[in-house]
């Protein structure tokens, strides 16, 4: 196979999921309490996309992976100390606000503009990757919007697998209801793929890969373009964490069938 | 809480994160080290934690799962951290800080895993420090993890020094290994017969090579040396039985037996032949001196990591202690704060935290110092060689002048013109750094592990009965036990104290120490809340006591400060360690305050973080001051014989009849006299007349001043406790607790 791919992965950073996340309202709208000081990680959905991108690129010699990330550059730098060890890529950072509450349209516009400006990017060979969801807020539309702005109409969401063919057409598995996958064949590039978890394990840290990536990451971070996202078009009425419920009942000698029936009833009621 | 103090700064929001630590421990601009930290952490809190949780510590044998841990180290770059980039590593230059950070991260979860990683470096260290170029090239290349495209298993090493089998009357200072000439044909490389028994040798279950210390058993070989043994050598390479350790079970330890024939080129550092005798270029003690002064620091940092790792699980346990109880509703104080409603629980945790901060600061200061010293040492050797000076004694003699210049530099005011000349002198620089390193290394090993083990017991106790179960989050019980081994291996506490008693009395070090005391006063002037003033006073008391003890004698005329008088020298060494740890802690907080604003992530909560960490400094400084006061007081007064009530001793007492006479012209004197002997010889119910303080009044003045310098330290503790009760912690620990795998 000698069809080099140009894969752009859009990935944000989110607070480490183990942290206590508490919504608060600030002068610029809602946010998470102490978000700037909480340790951050690459959004897990987008991270899956990055690992799949690196894997795919390795199978297609001459391919290149860019990681486009919007966030405060100091936080991005911190996250890169781990992410840069996982796979080879070139970082394209955009110095912007942290958090999952900015308007997806504004975010998409900035990211699309950034992608368009990537030097050497061949849009006829482009695979635009990202997460189909986000760990910070599951609007799930940013990637689609970027694709629309860039004029890419072949879009797939909830992707778990891609198999490229020699002619650059590809088969793709998308998640559909009931734990099933829908298999599609796309005639060619460019395309947008919003990844679910994919099939790859998280790569181990490799400091040598990291040091190699850092040669380009650090200068890129220093030159990161600052942006302010417009928030005029979106107003939040209220934000809250999903309600936690604890309704424990101790019952002895209940049969599995009865337990199952009760669970189904409970789920139906929810 | 009983005592409420109002802080002007709002409490620290979250536990200090990586960005804060990178500034404090001075690797914020070292991305290679930050990556190593991330990588080692991934292995520690992933694979290693799962091993511990699955009960892999419950076996002494080296199991396939433990073996896989080594491969995890390889894949994550931990093994390669010791190598130069051209040898398969990714870090250039000195690696003391790098190895310390890796050990710190691994020990955060399990000390045995950290030891397994360090032991490999320890085996290579004699070769790295003193090996011939051929030896360095061969063993580092073999030990480097395979590079892309390579299909080979990396070699593992073990270091076998001189641990004697107990109860056989072998002095620990004696080497248990022997080397003699097996074959020596004219014009060819001699062959050696090495006979070595090791005990408690780490990594021995899987070592491909062993660096072993041996003594000559042959007149044709002079002195001692370190030889490299390989598994494939002719003879016996018996790994022995696994040691039944109660601790560090993720490292392989055993009692091997070697009887091997090896070429003389395996002598570390090579040899020269003179008059038909082989003279190793380095004796075993010269090699291990170079090795241990570096490798002991990471061990001290392992215990520091455990102390700091205890903070989060203890806070979570304290807060959640009562949740789930009947009638306890979210929002109630008891539900939200649990045991943290109680001042004692908070204060004790603050003490553990403060000790962990001080231990980490001391250890990382030592690690950085060795990184700086390494190139300087090479420069020193080159400069002296240029002057025709080579060899241990000749070098020491030549450096005496540099020592005088160093002392002069320390005494000069900041604007003195001569400073520039002395500061530009690399030998002066070397002498200063070497003197400091010779103290910081044993201090780190001794204080971090010894006091650390005590404080880990305290941390365990804060978890109640949970603390001594396998289920305890953070594996605190294991960490407590493991700390005892850390205090023992690579030179037990007595060895570190012995080294300190020599190095801490060097004139260069004492001049440095006086300068540090002045520095603490200056810091106190700018940053009064750090405890720097308390520390300066304690440093002054320690110095006075040392000077006094070096001249003083006991009632029998025996010198007090003497190598054999360990009741004096070791105690004073212990006291010094408290001071050094506190000083390092304060300097790290000042560094954070100075540089934190440049990092937007740190800047967000900088003021509160600095306030909290300063309070911990103050608490630790007060505790150090208390220890120093107690130890010095005991030493200054403890060697005086207490006066008795006998005829000889009670001459200094008033007789009741005398007092009656004195009362006539000194009204009130009778009320002030305490040691009065009545006409019938009866006296107050106590051991004897109160001891005088002749010659010690200056000590009492300094001690009394030190006591008043504790002012405010408990307010700092209240403030820190308040923060501990409010600081945000993650929802769960980022590594598992014990349970079915």
Burial (0-12, 13-18, 19+ Cβ within 10 Å), B358: buried
The residues pairing with A127 across neighbouring beta strands, listed in sequence order, are A7, A191
CB atoms within 10 A of CB A59: 10
| Residue B6 phi, psi dihedral angles, 5° rounding | -100, 120
Q: DSSP letters of A124-155?
A: GGEEEEEESS-SS-TT--HHHHHHHHHT---E
Instruction: Give how many domains chain B has, as a whole number.
Output: 1
Q: The domain A6-226 belongs to what CATH superfamily?
A: HUPs (3.40.50.620)
B93 touches chain A (CB under 8 A): no
How long is chain B? 741
Task: Assess if residue B628 is contained within a domain.
Answer: no
CB contact under 8 A, B731 and A211: no
Please tell me if residue B599 touches chain A, with a CB cutoff of 8 Å. yes
Q: Which of A20, A78, A208 minimises the CB distance to B18?
A: A78
Spell B206-232 as b/e; 16+ CB within 10 A means b.
Answer: bbbbbbbbbbbebeebbebbbbbbbee
Answer whether residue B226 is part of any domain. yes
Pairing of strands B157-160, B209-216: parallel
Do the Cβ atoms of A211 and B36 come within 8 Å?
A: no
Range of the domain at B270: 158-288
User: In whole angstroms, what is the distance from residue B203 CA to residue B200 CA?
Assistant: 10
CATH number at B212 reads 2.40.110.10
Amino acid B295: pLDDT: 87
Q: Is B42 left (phi over 0), alpha (psi -120 to 50) or beta?
A: alpha
Lowest mean pLDDT among A215-219, B326-330, B644-648, B711-715: B644-648
Q: Which of A38, A72, A205 sits opposite B42 (nearest CB)?
A: A205
Is residue B184 situated within a structural domain? yes
Residues 170-189 in B contacting A (C-alpha not used; CB under 8 Å): none
For the beta carbon of residue B332, count every other beta carbon within 10 angstroms. 11
pLDDT of amino acid B471: 87
Q: How far does the CA of residue A172 sit from the closest CA of chain B (Å)?
A: 31
Identify the pLDDT of residue B2.
Answer: 38
Average pLDDT over residues A5-17: 94
Which pLDDT band, with edges at 50, 70 and 90, does B339 fall under? Answer: very high
| Partner A contacted by B604 (CB < 8 A) | yes
Which of chain B's residues have a Cβ under 8 Å away from the Cβ of A218?
Answer: 31
B71 touches chain A (CB under 8 A): no
Q: Is the pLDDT of residue B172 over 60?
A: no
Decide: residue A155, CB within 10 A, 0-12 exposed, 13-18 middle, 19+ buried: middle
Nearest CA in chain A to B85: A208
Alpha-carbon gap, residue B304 to B455, rounded angstroms: 10
- Closest by Cβ to B601, choosing from A75, A206, A218: A75
**Taking 70 as the threshold, does the pLDDT of residue B652 lie above it?**
no
Average pLDDT, chain B: 92
The 10s digit of each residue's pLDDT in A153-197 is 999 999 999 999 999 999 999 999 888 999 999 999 999 999 999
Question: Which residues does chain A have within 8 Å of residue B17's beta carbon, measured at their own beta carbons?
Answer: 37, 39
Assigned domain for B328 exists: no
CB-based burial of residue B23 (10 Å sphere; 0-12 exposed, 13-18 middle, 19+ buried)? buried
- Work out the pLDDT band at B194, boundaries 50, 70, 90: very high
**Comparison of pLDDT for A231 and B597, the residue scoring more:** B597
Tell me the average pLDDT across A67-73: 95
Flag whether B210 is in a domain: yes
Are B532 and B586 contacting, i.e. CB atoms less than 8 angstroms apart? yes
**SS3 of B493, please?**
helix
* Contact: A74, B32; criterion CB under 8 Å: no
- Which residue in A19, A74, A91, A205 has the most chain B C-beta atoms within 10 A of its own C-beta, making it the best mutation to test that interface? A205
B90 near A CB under 8 A: yes
Is A208 in Cβ contact with B31 (below 8 Å)?
no
Tell me the CB-side half-sphere exposure of residue B326, using CA atoms within 13 A.
0
Grade residue B682 by pLDDT with cuts at 50, 70 and 90.
confident
- Is A207's CB within 8 Å of B32's CB? yes
Q: Is residue B236 part of a domain?
A: yes
User: Residue B739: is its pLDDT beyond 70?
Assistant: no
> Tokens 């062993």 sit at which residue?
B210
* C-alpha span between B269 and B127 (Å, rounded): 7
- Put simply, the answer to whether A34 touches B728 (Cβ < 8 Å) is yes
Closest C-alpha among B394, B399, B395 to residue B425: B399
The answer, for B146 touching chain A at a CB cutoff of 8 Å, is no
- The residues near B501 (Cβ < 8 Å, ≥ 6 apart) are B563, B566, B569, B570, B572, B573
If you count residue pairs, one on A and one on B, with CB atoms under 8 Å apart, how many are there?
A: 92
């Amino acid at each position: 196979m000698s069809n080099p791919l140009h894969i752009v992965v859009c990935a944000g950073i989110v607070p480490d999921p183990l942290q206590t996340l508490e919504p608060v309202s600030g002068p610029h709208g809602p946010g998470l309490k102490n978000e700037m000081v909480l340790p951050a990680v690459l959004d897990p959905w987008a991270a899956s996309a990055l690992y799949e991108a690196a894997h795919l690129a390795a199978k297609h010699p001459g391919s290149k992976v860019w990681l486009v990330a919007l966030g405060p550059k100091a936080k991005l730098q911190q996250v890169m100390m781990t992410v840069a060890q996982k796979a080879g890529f070139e970082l394209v950072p955009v110095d912007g606000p942290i958090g999952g509450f900015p308007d997806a349209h504004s975010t998409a516009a900035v990211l699309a503009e950034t992608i368009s400006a990537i030097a050497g990017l061949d849009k006829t060979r482009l695979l635009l990757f990202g997460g189909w969801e986000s760990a910070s807020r599951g609007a799930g539309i940013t990637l689609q919007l970027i694709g629309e702005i860039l004029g890419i109409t072949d879009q797939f969401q909830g992707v778990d697998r891609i198999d490229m063919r020699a002619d650059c057409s590809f088969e793709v598995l998308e998640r559909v209801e009931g734990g099933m996958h829908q298999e599609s064949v796309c005639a060619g590039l460019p395309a947008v793929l919003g990844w679910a978890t994919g099939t790859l394990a998280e790569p181990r840290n490799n400091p040598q890969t990291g040091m190699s990536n850092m040669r380009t990451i650090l200068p890129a971070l220093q030159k990161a373009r600052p942006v302010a996202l417009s928030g005029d078009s979106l107003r939040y009425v209220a934000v809250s964490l999903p309600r936690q419920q604890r309704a424990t009942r101790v019952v002895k000698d209940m049969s599995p069938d009865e337990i199952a029936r009760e669970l189904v009833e409970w789920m139906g009621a929810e | 809480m009983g005592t409420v103090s109002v802080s002007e700064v709002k409490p620290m929001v979250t536990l200090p994160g990586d960005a804060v630590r990178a500034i404090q421990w001075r690797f914020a601009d070292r991305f290679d080290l930050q990556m190593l930290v991330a990588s080692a952490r991934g292995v520690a809190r992933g694979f290693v934690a799962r091993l511990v949780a699955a009960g892999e510590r419950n076996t002494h044998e080296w199991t396939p799962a433990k073996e896989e841990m080594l491969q995890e180290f390889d894949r994550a770059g931990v093994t390669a951290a010791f190598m130069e980039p051209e040898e398969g590593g990714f870090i250039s230059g000195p690696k003391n800080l790098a190895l310390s950070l890796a050990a710190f991260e691994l020990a955060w979860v399990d000390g045995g895993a950290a030891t397994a990683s360090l032991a490999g470096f320890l085996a290579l260290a004699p070769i790295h420090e003193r090996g011939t170029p051929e030896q360095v090239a061969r063993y580092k290349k073999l030990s480097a993890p395979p590079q892309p495209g390579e299909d080979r298993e990396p070699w593992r090493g073990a270091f076998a020094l001189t641990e004697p089998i107990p109860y056989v009357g072998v002095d620990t200072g004696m080497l248990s290994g022997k080397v003699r000439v097996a074959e020596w044909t004219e014009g060819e490389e001699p062959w050696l017969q090495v006979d070595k028994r090791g005990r408690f040798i780490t990594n021995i279950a899987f070592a491909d090579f062993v660096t072993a210390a041996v003594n000559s058993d042959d007149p044709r070989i002079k002195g001692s040396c370190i030889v490299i043994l390989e598994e494939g050598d002719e003879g016996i390479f018996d790994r022995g039985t696994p040691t039944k350790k109660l601790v560090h079970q993720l490292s392989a330890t055993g009692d091997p037996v070697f009887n091997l024939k090896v070429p003389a080129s395996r002598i570390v550092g090579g040899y020269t032949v003179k008059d038909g005798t082989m003279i190793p270029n380095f004796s075993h003690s010269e090699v291990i001196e170079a090795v241990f002064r570096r490798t002991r620091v990471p061990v001290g940092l392992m215990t520091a990591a455990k102390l700091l790792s205890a903070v989060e699980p203890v806070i979570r346990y304290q807060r959640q202690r009562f949740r789930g109880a009947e009638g306890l509703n979210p929002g109630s104080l008891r539900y939200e704060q649990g045991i943290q409603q109680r001042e004692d629980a908070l204060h004790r945790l603050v003490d553990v935290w403060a000790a962990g901060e001080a231990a980490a600061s001391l250890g990382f200061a030592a690690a950085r110092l060795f990184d700086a010293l390494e190139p300087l040492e090479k420069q020193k050797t080159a400069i002296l060689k240029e002057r025709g000076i080579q060899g241990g004694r000749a070098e020491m003699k030549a450096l005496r002048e540099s020592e005088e210049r160093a002392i002069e530099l320390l005494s000069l005011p900041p604007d003195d013109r001569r400073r520039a000349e002395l500061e530009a002198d690399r030998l002066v620089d070397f002498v200063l750094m070497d003197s400091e390193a010779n103290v910081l290394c044993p201090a780190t090993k001794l204080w971090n592990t010894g006091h650390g083990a005590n404080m880990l017991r305290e941390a365990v106790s804060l978890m109640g009965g949970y603390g001594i179960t396998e289920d305890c989050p953070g594996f605190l019980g294991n960490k407590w036990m493991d700390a005892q081994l850390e205090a023992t291996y690579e030179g037990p506490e007595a060895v570190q104290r012995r080294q300190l008693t020599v190095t801490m009395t060097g004139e260069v070090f004492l001049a440095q120490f006086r300068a540090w005391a002045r520095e603490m006063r200056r810091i106190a002037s700018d940053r009064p809340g750090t405890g720097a003033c308390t520390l300066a006073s304690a440093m002054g008391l320690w110095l006075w006591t040392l000077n006094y003890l070096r001249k003083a004698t006991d009632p029998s005329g025996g010198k007090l400060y003497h190598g054999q008088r360990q009741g004096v020298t070791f105690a004073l060494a212990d006291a010094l360690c408290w001071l050094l740890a506190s000083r390092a802690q304060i300097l790290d907080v000042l560094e954070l305050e100075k540089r934190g604003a440049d990092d937007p992530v740190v800047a967000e909560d900088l003021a509160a973080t600095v306030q909290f960490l300063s309070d911990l400094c103050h608490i630790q400084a007060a505790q150090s001051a208390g220890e120093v006061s107690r130890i010095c007081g005991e030493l200054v007064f403890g060697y005086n014989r207490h006066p008795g009530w006998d005829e000889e001793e009670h001459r200094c007492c008033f007789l009741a009849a005398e007092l009656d006479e004195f009362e006539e012209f000194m009204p009130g004197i009778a009320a002030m006299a305490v040691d009065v002997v009545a006409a019938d010889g009866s006296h107050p119910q106590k051991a004897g007349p109160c001891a005088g303080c002749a010659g010690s009044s200056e000590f009492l003045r300094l001690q009394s001043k030190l006591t008043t310098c504790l002012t405010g330290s408990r307010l700092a503790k209240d403030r820190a406790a308040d923060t501990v009760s409010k600081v945000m912690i993650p929802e769960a620990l980022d590594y598992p607790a014990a349970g079915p795998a």
